[in-house]
Amino acid sequence: MKTPRVTARAHTNIALVKYWGKRDEDLIIPMNGSLSLTLDEFYTETTVQFDSKQQTDHLILDGVTQPTTRVTPFLDIIRNQAGITAGAAVISTNHVPTAAGLASSASAYAALAAAASKAAGLTLNRQALSRLARRGSGSATRSVFGGFVEWQAGTNDATSYAVPIDEHPTWPIRMVTVVVDRAEKKIGSRAGMQTVVKTSPFYQEWVKKAQADLAAIKPAIAAHDIQQTGAIAESNAMAMHALNLTATPHFTYFTAGSLTAMHCVEELRAKGIPCYYTMDAGPNVKVLCEEQHVTAILTALQAHFDKNDLLVAHPGPGVQIIRED
Ligand code: PMV
């Protein structure tokens, strides 16, 4: 017997206050709360159907069959909750303007959580969906919601989930992505944060700083204060990346291109244009700014980067079911 075929769409998000370290590896409970902006430009669409005649799961990602090593344990959580044992067919497509290396586990697991839970017959509210997405990838916890989103760290499965801060911001906030490198990252976020938690002598200081940044950025966002919001986000990102340099073995996601982009943003700022950078577990640089300064920022970045490697995103929506048949 086959369940309905359900398709969900989820957008990626970029953290302004980062998650970088787990308190519980299995349940993915973070050491600190985090806060992100969901983006309209990059999203994943995933279709799921369970079939009781199928013993194993099958995954096609962007048209190519992939191993289900990470997806099967995630689907097992849903099968357990729904009381089914059927295998699933999962078809997932990442929508990014170019092969920009921006496909993210955040949009992937938020879309998979929504499509698979619905196909399995579960009716989950958004808090439950956020907790479920968390089990696939930490950052997916936040992609359940649109706009500005806080992931409340919590201490266990029941208390660790995201909440919307401002789902439909009237603030004309933008995120310019500088595609520095399209290659797959060498050190995945899972391994990177594990090394840092275990070995950085500054880890506890990071947790304190992230908590303080989280408390400070919320009123800055509410006030639509780009200087404050941007300064906190940039400082938080640099603290996260500094941790990586203090781990054993030390590592970094910075490349020469990342530094070029960051210097360019600093020069723009010196000229009075409020723009601020952040980076995740890869070399690409994201620039937070307001709509009115996008053109000036793109012009300056175009001196160093190809036009096609500069992508402008607006705030995006939370996860949605887009088809069911
Ligand atoms: O959820 P993961 O395993 O992709 O980890 C995300 C980690 C960062 O992107 C660097 C920070 C964050 O909060 O999204």
pLDDT at 104 over 90: no
Which atom of ligand 1 is found nearest the CA of 104?
Answer: 4
Closest ligand 1 atom to 105 CA: 4
Cβ burial, residue 270 (10 Å; 0-12/13-18/19+): exposed
Instruction: Check residue 181 and give its pLDDT.
Output: 84
Residue 96: pLDDT band with limits 50, 70, 90 = confident
As a whole number of angstroms, the distance between CA 200 and CA 209 comes to 15
Beta strand 87-95 with 58-61: parallel, antiparallel or unpaired?
A: parallel
97 or 234, higher pLDDT: 234
pLDDT band at residue 103 under the 50/70/90 scheme: low
pLDDT category at 192 given cuts 50, 70, 90 is very high
- The pLDDT tens digits of the residues spanning 258-294 come to 999 999 999 999 999 999 999 999 999 999 999 999 9
Joined together, the tokens standing for residue 168 give: 């439909």
Residue 24: other Cβ atoms inside 10 A: 13
Q: Ligand 1 centre and the CA of 294: distance in Å? A: 26
Q: Which of 70, 241, 280 best tests ligand 1's pocket when mutated (most atoms within 8 Å of CB)?
A: 280
Atom of ligand 1 nearest to the CA of 280: 10
Decide if pLDDT at 183 tops 90.
no
| Per-residue model confidence as pLDDT tens digits over 236-265 | 999 999 999 999 999 999 999 999 999 999
Check: CB of residue 232 under 8 Å from CB of residue 225: no
Q: Is the pLDDT of residue 156 over 60?
A: yes
Distance 137 CA to ligand 1 centre (A): 8
Say what the pLDDT of residue 144 is.
98
Q: How far is the CA of 3 from the centre of ligand 1 (A)?
A: 32
pLDDT of 34: 98
Which pLDDT does position 175 carry in this prediction?
A: 97
User: Which pLDDT score is estimated for 182?
Assistant: 77
Nearest-CA residue for atom 10 of ligand 1 = 280
Average pLDDT over residues 5-20: 98
Q: In the chain, count of helices (H) and strands (E)? A: 9, 14
Q: By percentage, how much of the chain surpasses pLDDT 90?
A: 94
Bridge partners of residue 134, in order along the sequence: none
pLDDT at 98 over 70: no
| Whether the predicted pLDDT of 306 surpasses 70 | yes
* Ligand 1 center–CA 39 separation, angstroms: 15
Note if the bond before 249 is cis, omega within 30 degrees: yes
In this predicted structure, the answer to whether residue 123 has a pLDDT above a threshold of 60 is: yes
- Tell whether the model's pLDDT for residue 9 goes beyond 80: yes
* Residue 318: closest CA among 159, 191, 141, 182: 141
- Residue 97 in this model has a pLDDT that exceeds 90: no
298: buried, middle or exposed (CB in 10 Å: 19+, 13-18, 0-12)?
middle
184, pLDDT greater than 80:
no
> What integer best gives the mean pLDDT of the chain?
96
Residue 138 near residue 114 (C-beta atoms within 8 A): no
The answer to whether residue 101 scores a pLDDT higher than 80 is no
What pLDDT shows up at residue 119? 98
